[in-house]
Chains A and B, each alone.
Chain A
Amino acid sequence: NAGVTQTPKFQVLKTGQSMTLQCAQDMNHNSMYWYRQDPGMGLRLIYYSASEGTTDKGEVPNGYNVSRLNKREFSLRLESAAPSQTSVYFCASSEVFVGVQGNQPQHFGDGTRLSIL
């Protein structure tokens, strides 16, 4: 099993360009997430999808859109890239059970290193 796969691994954009970061998981998880990690900083949640067909804003959603294409895939789109969006973007997935078991660990992809000039 590949786990969580992100593409591309690296990307350089010019200010104002658009692009979509792709994420796919093969663990049959219901929940998927997009985080950004700035140098020396923690993980900040951009958007998440608790289940197929639903998406919700996280801590820093401005400037981003997401699509939960199906249970496996969750994409992140930058419509008009800005230098402030230069960061490493991580996708993650997890299972969430109702009841005692509750949340389960998140599994992360390898990240996409995005630079915006």
Chain B
Amino acid sequence: GENVEQHPSTLSVQEGDSAVIKCTYSDSASNYFPWYKQELGKRPQLIIDIRSNVGEKKDQRIAVTLNKTAKHFSLHITETQPEDSAVYFCAASQSSASKIIFGSGTRLSIRP
């Protein structure tokens, strides 16, 4: 079955700097890759997703890149702000398959 590995488990960056979180997946049939943000005590919420027919997607300060050959995808946050502090989860699934597998999460802290 699908396995998703996420690194690093914790990340601390200076406010204004960039943060990068990386994930690898095992199932080459996976073609949908969402990223979720979970603030302390809250529900996970989607922040961006990418499908296998594109290599990069951007939404303001957030971007995701996908390398299908290497089976890895990354989340990039630029100009980090205090409100970016949270746990971020990557995930992978196959098209039309309901099951989605999550990575173990990255706790991002933004230093003032």
Contact = CB atoms under 8 A, between A and B. Distances in A.
A90 interface: yes
B61 interface: no
A105 B100 CA distance: 10
Q: How large is the interface on A (under 10, 10 to 19, 20 to 34, 35 or more residues)?
A: 20 to 34
A100 B101 CA distance: 20
Given A42-B104, A43-B89, A105 B49 contact: yes
Interface residues of B, number: 26
B44 interface: yes
Given A102-B32, A105-B34, A43 B44 contact: yes
A100 B49 CA distance: 15
Given A96-B98, A102-B31, A102-B95, A42 B43 contact: no
A43 B32 CA distance: 17
Residue from the set A90, A105, A108, A109 with the largest chain B CB neighbour count within 10 Å: A105
Given A56-B98, A97-B96, A103-B95, 8 more contacts: A33-B100, A43-B44, A100-B95, A102-B51, A102-B94, A105-B34, A105-B49, A108-B44
Nearest to B9: A40
A41 B105 CA distance: 7
A49 B99 CA distance: 9
Contacts of A99: 95-96
B102 interface: yes
